[in-house]
Structure 1
Amino acid sequence: MRQAALSELQDAYAQEPGRVEIDVASLDPRLQIPVCQEPLSASLNQHNANGGRVTVRLECRDDSPWTRHVAASVRIFQDVVISSRALARGSIVSAGDLSLREHDISSLRGQVIRDPEVAVGQAVRRAVSADTVLNVDLLEAPTLVKRGDTVVLVAERGSIAIRGTGTALQAGEAGKQIPVRNNNSNRVVQAVVTGAGEAQVIF
């Protein structure tokens, strides 16, 4: 039974990147389990790509069928992005702030980051210490325009572009639509943040 469970788990996690360690729990020797006259059928109750505690369902399908469940622990070691130094809240992450290290991802919470490029240019939601494994919940798009900032407004129609200035009435990150008061006309327009202190008017 343990071998059948191990084989099922090895097949299930064969395509996962990184190093996989599987530990199948020992069976209670007091269990009275009839010998199955057919090869056991094994299936994973739920596949967790990050590993952790799993259960394998074993079925005997001979003339006296039975079903048992075997517990196991799956540890998956992959290279993940960690902070190479302490980062203050709101810091913009650079390539020099990051490094890759092998870690057991089954013990981690959240969606870990495996590609440093995903983190570069993002802002840290809260302060983190050195050697912290980064996940997507720790990062956010940086605020490029703050409420009350003077921004460069760009209005484009075909090949014609008109530039002016306005006052942001709301903070925003890249791609966010915010209201901006045109400093010349005093009219409030909707604009999309395109860069630090820049926004494009929406017609």
Structure 2
Amino acid sequence: MTMMYSRFKVQSSKLFSGFIVGLLPLFILLGISGYLFAAGMTAIRLLEKAEVEKDKIRLGEIARIKCEDPELAKELRAIVIGKAPLPGRTRQIDEQYIRLRLKQNAIDLSQISLHVPRKVEVFRGFVEISKEKIKKIVLDFIHQKIPWNRSRVRVKDVRVNRNVILPKGKITYEVILPKNTDFLGTIPLSVIFRVNRHFQKRVWATVSIEMLAEVVITRRPLRRYQLITEDDIRLQKMDLAELPSNIITSCEEVLGKRTKSAINANVVLRSDLVELPPLVRRGDVVLMIAESDGLKITALGEVRERGRRGERIRVVNLDSKREIYARVLDSKTVKVDF
């Protein structure tokens, strides 16, 4: 009885061992098949935090992609997930949105092993241009463009209202001046920033420019119609930005002229305050000269109105009594222009 039980135990053990040996190939086959299936899967692992530089978020910038098919991998990396945040800002993306964008791009999610954190935070890279940097840009531009002698010019102030935040890339700028700028006083201008040739920001600035020049000033009060002499005037350096455009900067421009009205002392002379004194007055008798093709004719005439050198006035020919126009040459002579 004992021998029969032992024999049966040995045979059962052999049968179990044979059963295990028979299943072993099947286990191996299933393992290889599972490995091959796992190896054929495309894995996409989203990063918790990622930085982008352009205005669109692409999958390849925010995820690690493992794929045996190079074309599929390239296609996946190029998928646009959405619009990037503004430079210096962040945007959060969840798994549901990622899956939606993959489906919209005809990606079979059953063939994708997708790993997404609870939230994906996307940050837009940026470059900050400080106000001091913008001031230097403006100052360099003014020094290059200003038409005055640099030794006579002083930039008193440059004002910029803010820093500028730009996306990363090739940054260029352009300074824009108003038309017909005279580079005197306070000048408004703008600085346009471009990144990779695309417009990004416009910043406004103001520049205060002082231009020192000698101007003619009265030494003492002058009467109406008083002839101006060297003793009546002096030169003084002043900021042209604070003066009208018709100020006189040379003594030679006023010597021999007269005042149109009474002028106080220490007044900056302007062209509208002085005039040449008339050389002829109404009733004066002058010599009239007419020349043409080598022929010269003279006659006496009576002046009908006062006139300064170079002015055209009415004159009556004393012989013919005919009134004509002539140009004043001096206090005794006028010339008839044909």
Q: Same fold by TM (over 0.5)?
A: yes
Paired residues of 2:139 and 2:158 also in contact (CA < 8 A)? no
Residue from 54, 66, 82 that aligns with 2:217: 82
C-alpha displacement at 1:36, in angstroms? 6.9
The answer to whether 1:8 aligns with 2:145 is no
Rg: which structure is higher? 2
Q: What residue in structure 2 maps to residue 134 of structure 1?
A: 269
Q: What residue in structure 1 maps to residue 155 of structure 2?
A: 22
Question: Distance between the aligned counterparts of 2:299 and 2:268, measured in 1?
Answer: 43
SS at match of 1:143: coil
SS at match of 1:172: coil
Count of equivalent residues: 198
Question: Distance between the aligned counterparts of 2:278 and 2:296, measured in 1?
Answer: 28
Residue from 185, 195, 198 that aligns with 1:52: 185
Deviations 1:19-68 (A, max 9, x none): 2221334444xx46305752543233345436011022112111571111
CA RMSD in angstroms comes to 2.8
Structure 2 residue ranges without an equivalent (≥5): 1-133
Deviations 1:144-194 (A, max 9, x none): 2222x3222233555866463x43212211122222234455443433222
Query: Which stretch shifts more, 90-99 or 4-13?
Result: 90-99
Deviations 1:108-136 (A, max 9, x none): 11322222222222332222222211222
C-alpha displacement at 1:70, in angstroms? 0.4
Question: Distance between the aligned counterparts of 1:60 and 1:155, measured in 2?
Answer: 67
Q: Which has the higher helix share?
A: 2
- Report the TM-score when normalising by structure 1: 0.80
Q: What residue in structure 1 maps to residue 195 of structure 2?
A: 62
Q: What residue in structure 1 maps to residue 287 of structure 2?
A: 153
Question: Distance between the aligned counterparts of 1:36 and 1:42, measured in 2?
Answer: 20
SS at match of 2:265: coil
Paired residues of 1:144 and 1:196 also in contact (CA < 8 A)? yes
Q: Which has the higher strand share?
A: 1
Paired residues of 1:46 and 1:55 also in contact (CA < 8 A)? no
Identity across the alignment (%): 24
Paired residues of 1:110 and 1:137 also in contact (CA < 8 A)? no
Structure 1 residue ranges without an equivalent (≥5): none
- Structure 2 CA distance for partners of 1:132 and 1:101, relative to 1, 3 Å: same
Paired residues of 1:78 and 1:102 also in contact (CA < 8 A)? yes
- Report the TM-score when normalising by structure 2: 0.51
Query: Which stretch shifts more, 51-60 or 184-193?
Result: 184-193
Q: What residue in structure 1 maps to residue 226 of structure 2?
A: 91
The answer to whether 1:121 aligns with 2:252 is no
Q: Could you say which structure has the greater relative contact order, defined with CA pairs below 8 angstroms and 6 or more residues apart?
A: 1
Question: Distance between the aligned counterparts of 1:193 and 1:167, measured in 2?
Answer: 13
